[in-house]
Chain A
Amino acid sequence: MTRAHVALAALLAVLLSLPAFAGPYALSVATLVLYFAYTGQAWNVMMGFAGQLSLGHSLYVGVGAYAAGAIFFHYGIGPWAGLWVAILLCVLLGVVIGFLAFRFGISGVYFALLTIAFAEFTRIGFDHLDWTGGPGGMFLRVAQRDTWDIANFRGPPLMYYYSILALASLAFVLCYFLLKTRAGYYWQAIRENEEAAQALGINTFRWKVYAVALSSAMTAVAGVFFAFYYNNLFPEQIFNISRSIEIILGPIIGGLGTLFGPILGAAVLTLLSDGITELLAALGWEIPGVKQVFYGIVLLLVVMFLPHGIWPAVAKRLRVDRS
């Protein structure tokens, strides 16, 4: 047992027992933190591990959410079937985008802009798709708050909390083992120096596409969770570029390419955002825009003074492994 293992076990114990002493509001905040920890982890596979900057991850959240949501809405089939449709669609999209981009040698800023373009393209497409309600949105039947309807994934907030905790934990474990497998080393080699990786005989094209596929599959699951947790979907909101930015803030602020970074970043950002809201409410400054200005300033300061994110700096203090 290293210090990191002890800390991890303690964190898991706290999270498992959290509903026992947290009120409904704290539970919803914790759910949001874990949601961003999970999506951040998913995005991190692509950028943090393989070095491919995606600024369009809202595409996979949205398509995943709409796929499972529409199947439930139109046919009453629960998300356990819809989940696979969502994953399949998102992997297909990810592979197509990755294939096109990497085949034509698009990288860096250009790749990032391509991902934005696909997300925006899809957003406007869904705005004109009547089957999913168009810009007016799609509303799922509201959950029965007192029973755990696992088959349809409808139930009290507690159910969603434990589901997203399970997802975030699974993603953490998956990434932990991925980093130690051949795939993890290949990706990191590609991230550090693609030409050198290629010279060593790694099929960089194929491994980059794998990273996109895995990342989009994981994000699709987050989309399904999103649809059934929030019950309403609007293209304008779910595909918006600011949703993509939200996803990537956590891992970058927390520490790119690290395992703890996405979790820490999600916690810091969500609590910061809520903290500012509370503080401004207490001060009576509830003017639209104030909160985001503060948020932006904090973001600016973190990016300027902690270029590698918060986790590497914290890990150094705690004397634990930086990953």
Chain B
Amino acid sequence: MDALTVIDLLLAGVLTGLLYGLMALGLSVIFGVVRVVNFAHGEMMTIAMYATVVLFAWLGLDPFFALLPVAAAFFGLGYLLQRGLINPFITRPEHSQFMLLVAVAIILVNALLLVFGPDARNVQVDYQLESYELGSVLIDKARVFAAGLAVVAALLLFLFFRFTLTGKAIRACADNYLGAKVVGLNVKRLYALTFGLGAACVAVAGCAMVLLVDVTPGLGPYYTLLAFVIVIVGGLGSMGGALLGGVLIGVSEALAGLFIAPSAKSMFSFGLLILVLLVRPQGLLGKRA
């Protein structure tokens, strides 16, 4: 093992981590506003991955084009999910919300198993095999594209929340639920919009993730846990925190795979989670509740 391998792996970890960050950003935005923890997050991610695989197999659509219809569909689904199913639960206790989303997750992951079977699926495009050379450092092209996409999507989301009127209204709901209602904001609609946006984030992350890994139904629970770890490490509800957490987890997974054993990589992530919860429970970039 030489220094170059380590640098290659570190870079790959950072790039994959940005994609993880985008996935976790969806979870973070939903929690930050609606105050519901989406226990079906990874399952939604997996569905987006399958949607991309299907579009590719059926129409030969490149994942980077597929992400537009998939994200639009996910926005709609997220909107309806919040409006129809989750909204009555926002005033119920946490364990009740948890059960609801666990039930949704069980249905989703097994519906995938039912439709696609347990075998791994993937897409094959030319640029997956190509790489950039920086001196003697090699970086996969697909990984660079995916990370770039994650950064652009996160930036767009940030600009939306910062500068548009709807984005500001959503932030007002998050800050003060009662106040937002008093000034006449349609909180129900804004919550649904937020859930839709969170779902769209996951969809975009899923579309790009297909370029890096094969998809199986079993990935759902794994991504759910991964997204939790990332948002807690970064700070639940903080947008920058989700990206930072994603990069940290991406890098720690890459290093654990290199120095210990690939199968031990999530032990690192969970260890990091426990450490952060104990030392800085609000997360690295989170604000104290």
Contact = CB atoms under 8 A, between A and B. Distances in A.
Nearest to A240: B221
Interface in B215-263: 217, 221, 225, 228-229, 232, 236, 261, 263
Interface in A70-104: 100-101, 104
Most chain-A CB neighbours within 10 Å: which of B96, B99, B104, B274? Answer: B99
Contact of A121 (B112, B114, B267, B278): B267
A128 B281 contact: no
B60 interface: no
A121 B271 contact: yes
Interface in B78-130: 85, 88, 92, 94-96, 98-100, 102-107, 109-114, 117-118
A112 to B, nearest CB: 7
A113 to B, nearest CB: 6
A292 B110 contact: yes
Given A124-B263, A124-B266, A113 B92 contact: no
A154 B79 CA distance: 55
Given A121-B271, A124-B264, A288-B118, A293 B37 contact: no
A110 B281 contact: yes
Interface of chain A: mostly helix, strand, loop or mixed: helix
Given A127-B263, A290-B114, A117 B277 contact: yes
A118 B271 CA distance: 8
Nearest to B36: A109
A113 B232 CA distance: 9
Interface string A37-63: 000000000010000010100000000
A23 interface: no
Contacts of A288: 113-114, 117-118
Q: Is the interface on chain A under 10, 10 to 19, 20 to 34, or 35 or more residues?
A: 35 or more
A114 B236 CA distance: 14
Interface of B: prevailing SS = helix
A128 B274 contact: no
B281 A289 contact: no
Interface string B18-39: 0000000000000000000100
A288 B117 CA distance: 8
B150 interface: no
Contacts of A128: 261, 263-264
A300 interface: yes
B273 interface: yes
A296 B106 contact: yes
Contacts of B113: 288-289, 292
A305 to B, nearest CB: 11
Closest 9 CB pairs of A and B: A289-B113, A296-B106, A296-B107, A289-B114, A292-B110, A124-B267, A300-B103, A289-B110, A299-B103
19 contacts: A100-B278, A112-B94, A112-B98, A116-B228, A117-B229, A117-B277, A118-B270, A118-B274, A120-B270, A121-B271, A127-B263, A252-B96, A288-B118, A289-B110, A289-B113, A289-B114, A290-B110, A291-B110, A299-B103
Given A127-B264, A252-B99, A303-B103, 6 more contacts: A112-B94, A114-B277, A120-B270, A248-B95, A293-B106, A296-B106
